[in-house]
Amino acid sequence: MSANTKIEWATHTFNPWEGCQKVGAGCDNCYAEARNARFAGGTSINWGPGAPRRRTSEANWKLPLRWNAAHDAFFSQYGHRQRVFCSSLADVFDNAVDPQWLGDLFELIQRTPNLDWLLLTKRIGNWKSRMQAVLDSFGSRIPPTPRPKSVSDEEADSMNWIDAWMRNDVDPIPANVWIGATICTQEEADRDIPKLLTVPAAKRFLSMEPLLGPVSFEGMFASSNPADGTNVLEELDWVIVGGESGPDARPMHPDWARSLRDQCVAAGVPFLFKQWGEWSPGHITPCGTPGRFAVMRTKGLYGDSTLFCDEYPRAFTSFGATVVSRVGKVKAGRFLDNRTWDEVPV
């Protein structure tokens, strides 16, 4: 049994619905929006304010049940549990999604305890309100006792589970739910990591793709009291870093990735380097060679002091910059300082 996705950090992808809305710079070149447009004749019909979200087929919703049943065979072959990246073509905590769909998703997660569900979101601040919306959508049907006949055993279990999870009163915390936040810049890190740390989850992780600038965890404390001394990175279970791919991909400075790796190594946090994306360092060519190159300063966001040129620049080191070359995702590869980084939480 093999993985059904090429995403390096997941075994499967599962999309309960499709559609989203851009909420930050990392969304500018969204591959899922482009895919939606390609299959809809050129216009992304499920993206943007007011656009309907599309629930996927019942056959698709049954796939996780099959994966769950195949746990023993998979574990015997690969030595680890199956990881399901949920909503690669959407956002789990999107406000535009029908809360009953979200309730159905969490019922499915309950029914598949052999799968580790990786819920990655750009809207981590919506977590509690969306969970409450699920409960509210059932209104008076949420059991107490006696439970109305209109409520199935599965619905009752799911509602009780969500209610307890919101109150951090599930013992243990759902062991197969990993919650992640997409972080592309320092501003997003400062804003969203503290929110992520308030969410009860078996694992909390960051997906820093596309990485659009340097990010430092220095001075970011897990507690509101800095005297506690616990850095936020010590409270995270995993950090994934990657550059952007696609026709309009923006370059990533190699020092941004190195810095995050070094911070994770120092804190003992598993680090996975997913890809360079379209742009890569290390492809040195003679000055004046035609191609697509970007001269980048170490500090500052993508776009700040980034110079694009159509031939390898003749002089750039004098002002402390690095040249990255547009070579394509495959040629750019996944090596960071001569090796891959594929650490995953145990």
> Which residue has tokens 């993206």?
47
SS3 256: helix
The pLDDT score that the predictor gives to residue 159 is 73
Q: What is the DSSP letter of 115?
A: E
Q: How many whole angstroms separate alpha carbon 60 and alpha carbon 62?
A: 5
Instruction: Kindly report, residue by residue over 17-41, the tens digit of the pLDDT.
Output: 999 999 999 999 998 888 888 887 7
The pLDDT score that the predictor gives to residue 192 is 96
Q: How many whole angstroms separate alpha carbon 200 and alpha carbon 218?
A: 24
The pLDDT score that the predictor gives to residue 302 is 56
- Which range has the top average pLDDT, 73-77, 144-148, 161-165, 313-317? 73-77
Q: Return the biggest CA–CA distance within the chain.
A: 79
Q: What is the DSSP letter of 150?
A: T
* 8 A C-beta contact, residue 216 and residue 232: no
Total count of residues recorded for the chain? 346
SS3 4: coil
Written as one string, the DSSP assignment of 188-237 is HHHHHHHHHTTS--SEEEEEE-S--S----TT-BSSS-GGG--BGGGG-S
255: left (phi over 0), alpha (psi -120 to 50) or beta: alpha
pLDDT at 145 over 80: no
For the chain, domain boundaries: 12-282
Q: How confident is the model at residue 150 (pLDDT cuts 50, 70, 90)?
A: low
The pLDDT score that the predictor gives to residue 135 is 85
Closest CA relative to residue 203, chosen from 158, 230, 235:
235
Instruction: Kindly report, residue by residue over 217-264, the tens digit of the pLDDT.
Output: 998 887 665 566 688 999 999 999 999 999 999 999 999 999 999 999
The residue-averaged pLDDT of 268-273 equals: 98
The pLDDT score that the predictor gives to residue 147 is 44
Q: Alpha helix (H) ranges present in the chain? A: 31-39, 58-69, 71-78, 99-110, 127-138, 153-166, 186-196, 254-267, 329-332
- Amino acid residing at 97: V
* Among the ranges given (135-139, 222-226, 252-256, 324-328), the one the predictor scored with the smallest mean pLDDT: 222-226
The pLDDT score that the predictor gives to residue 209 is 98
More confident position, 153 or 112: 112
- Amino acid residing at 121: T
Instruction: Kindly report, residue by residue over 179-221, the tens digit of the pLDDT.
Output: 999 999 999 999 999 999 999 999 999 999 999 999 999 988 8
Q: What is the DSSP letter of 305?
A: T
pLDDT at 344 over 60: yes
Is the pTM higher than 0.95? The answer reads no
> Which residue has tokens 């960051």?
206
Average pLDDT over the chain reads 87
Q: How confident is the model at residue 289 (pLDDT cuts 50, 70, 90)?
A: confident
* 8 A C-beta contact, residue 124 and residue 181: yes
Backbone angles phi, psi at 164, to 5 degrees: -65, -40
More confident position, 107 or 158: 107
Distances (CA, A) of 261 to 11, 72, 269, 332, 340: 23, 33, 9, 18, 11
The residue-averaged pLDDT of 72-77 equals: 97
Distances (CA, A) of 156 to 57, 113, 130, 325, 343: 24, 18, 18, 55, 38
